[in-house]
Amino acid sequence: MTGRPFPRALLDAAPLDAARALLGALLVRAGEGGAPDRRGRIVEVEAYGGPEDAASHARFGPTARNRVMFGPPGIAYVYLVYGMHHCLNVVVGPPGRAAAVLIRGVEPLDGVAAMRAARAPTAPGARTAPDTRLAAGPGLVGRAFGIDRAMTGIDLCDARSPVSLAPDTGPGAPVVVATPRIGVGYAAEPWASMPWRLHLAGSPAVSRAR
């Protein structure tokens, strides 16, 4: 049972506009072997531009890692940070114009048990994370939804893909807050301070302040 796919046309846009379109949309991980789908609402994103954006992976031009950023919109770009965390991006903008939107926070809606099972075993004596925070950060999104670099290149606008997007079906008019992107202190100004991180006000699944 697949839902309506996310309209690719909404992603064929400037990075910030595409990021805004993705806020509130659903992220779906198809269940394997009769397992239930994992679904959640995207509540935090960051927009990244092309070679001119000193904070973007595209800042060195096309490379083996980032080359899908230069392709058509709606494609997954997954990279590994700090040797252990897989982060999901949605390629946006027209072919030839590198841009992507990093999915930084998702509020779990369905398949919560599978998301929790994907987590590293909780250390003895440690507090267990609440359901709402199982994907409250870019590395956690990858973990909770079983995403890794092998998924780079899949079409997120095709509901038959292992990971896909679906339009927002919830109540409209969410309050969007814009702040600088996280962890990009290496970039020159004005890029380090661009308010290209968007999140839904009041969501419990927004990543922790840094």
Residues making contact with DNA (CB under 7 A): 46, 48, 55-58, 60, 63-66, 79-85, 87, 89, 100, 102, 119-120, 122-123, 125-126, 129, 137-140, 181-186, 207
Residue 102 and residue 20 in contact, taking contact as beta carbons nearer than 8 Å? no
Q: How far is the CB of 188 from DNA (least distance, A)?
A: 11
Cα 161–Cα 176–Cα 12 angle in degrees, nearest 5:
45
Cα 25–Cα 146–Cα 48 angle in degrees, nearest 5:
50
Cα–Cα distance, 135 to 108 (Å, whole number): 7
Pick between residue 85 and residue 97 the one whose CB is nearest to DNA: 85
- The residue with tokens 């899949």 is 154
- Nearest Cα neighbor of 168 from 118, 106, 126 is 106
Q: How far is the CB of 69 from DNA (least distance, A)?
A: 7
Pick between residue 35 and residue 150 the one whose CB is nearest to DNA: 150
Pick between residue 42 and residue 55 the one whose CB is nearest to DNA: 55
DSSP character at residue 96: T
- Nearest Cα neighbor of 102 from 137, 61, 129, 59 is 137
Residue 187 and residue 8 in contact, taking contact as beta carbons nearer than 8 Å? no
Q: How far is the CB of 6 from DNA (least distance, A)?
A: 18
Both tokens of 162, joined, read: 């292992």
